Chain A
Amino acid sequence: MQFNSNDSGSSLQSEINITPLVDVVLVLLIIFMVVVPLLMEGYDVDIPRASADKSAQVAESQLILSIGSATCPILTPPAGEGIPKNCQVTLADQKIPVAELPTRVATILGGRPPEQRALFLAVDDHLNYEAVLRIIDLAKSGVEDLKIEFVAAN
């Protein structure tokens, strides 16, 4: 018996049928295109309780990060990525350059159980909002499951 490619009807179809594949891929593409713009990213924070007694909030074990506009003068959105080097913050009453923040936070909070890892932020009103979020981002990069709570700045 000879192979004959012109023999219609009994010849094998050697190409893969890609139509169902294309169907599935198109539907997946549509699903992702619709969902992705609706997803948000950000930081969970606790709100300063204006009604609560402020002195009651400050306990011995609380780690307070103060960001003042005198030592960290970022009043307009910082250009590019990261935080300008001239920014100094006060962590547990010690003045440190902002670049050291992740390691300091990790040293202090890394030994605590995750549910007790909380950072209390006292932020100057004049600071730029984007700079504040970048400092939160930096602090959170030092230790996992870090809770952020705002307290009133002095």
Chain B
Amino acid sequence: MQAAINITPLVDVVLVLLIIFMVMAPQMRKGPDVNLPNTTKPNSQGDERGRILVSIDDSGGLWINDQAVAAEHFDEALRAAVGAEPNPKIVIRGDAKLNFREVREVMVAIEQAGFRGVGLIAKRTGAEGK
């Protein structure tokens, strides 16, 4: 007689639940709804953890790491987000509907806060994503 409980179905169910939550979690994030521009061959910008995400939504609202930020406090908020990081990598997630002016103004604001170089985030044509 087999006295041990058969744990295989339990493991199956737990694994499936784990996968479901892991897939859902990144989509549950607060933050702005940014429709990224589509291009054919964007370069890799790495993992979004470890980057400072500056988002500009389609109405021009600014967000730093999914926190809404008023334009007049952008400088302090950006410096606070960078903290003591010696070599911060800042990326801009701009909405496809924006004018270039709104993106340029944010780039200038980043430069004036003392940072050089940003990544402009795009989405590969045909790839699904947020």
A residues in contact (CB < 8 Å) with B? 26, 29-30, 33-35, 37-51, 75-77, 81-82, 123-130, 132-134, 136-137, 140-141, 150
**What are 6 A-to-B residue pairs whose CB atoms are below 8 Å?**
A42-B45, A44-B118, A45-B118, A47-B118, A129-B99, A141-B41
Given A29-B19, A39-B48, A129-B37: A45 touches B94 (CB 8 Å cut-off): no
Query: Which single residue of chain A is at the shortest CB-CB distance from B50?
Result: A38
Contact-residue bracket for chain B: 35 or more
A75 to chain B: closest residue by CB: B99
A45 to chain B, nearest CB (A): 6
Closest 9 CB pairs of A and B: A125-B101, A130-B37, A41-B42, A42-B121, A130-B96, A137-B39, A47-B111, A40-B45, A129-B98
**Are B108 and A39 closer than 8 Å at their CB atoms?**
no
Contact (A45, B117) CB under 8 Å given A50-B111, A51-B112, A140-B41: yes
Chain A residues, Cβ within 8 Å of B94:
129
CB-CB under 8 A from A48, the residues of chain B are: 104, 107-108, 111
- How many A-B pairs with Cβ below 8 Å? 145
Q: Is the C-beta of B62 less than 8 angstroms from some C-beta in chain A?
A: no
B91 at the binding interface (Cβ < 8 Å)? yes
Give Cα A38 to B44, complex, Å: 11
A33 and B20 CA atoms in complex are apart in Å by 10
Flag B119-130 by CB within 8 Å of A: 1 or 0 each: 111111100011
Alpha-carbon separation in the docked complex, A132 to B95 (Å) = 12
Q: Is the CB of A42 within 8 A of B119?
A: yes
Question: A46, B117: Cβ atoms under 8 Å?
Answer: yes
* A141 vs B51: C-alpha distance when bound (angstroms): 26
Q: Are B44 and A39 in contact (CB under 8 A)?
A: yes
On chain A, the residues within 8 Å of B51 by CB distance are: 40
B91: which A residues are within 8 A, CB to CB? Answer: 40, 42
| List of B residues within 8 angstroms of A128 by Cβ | 96-100
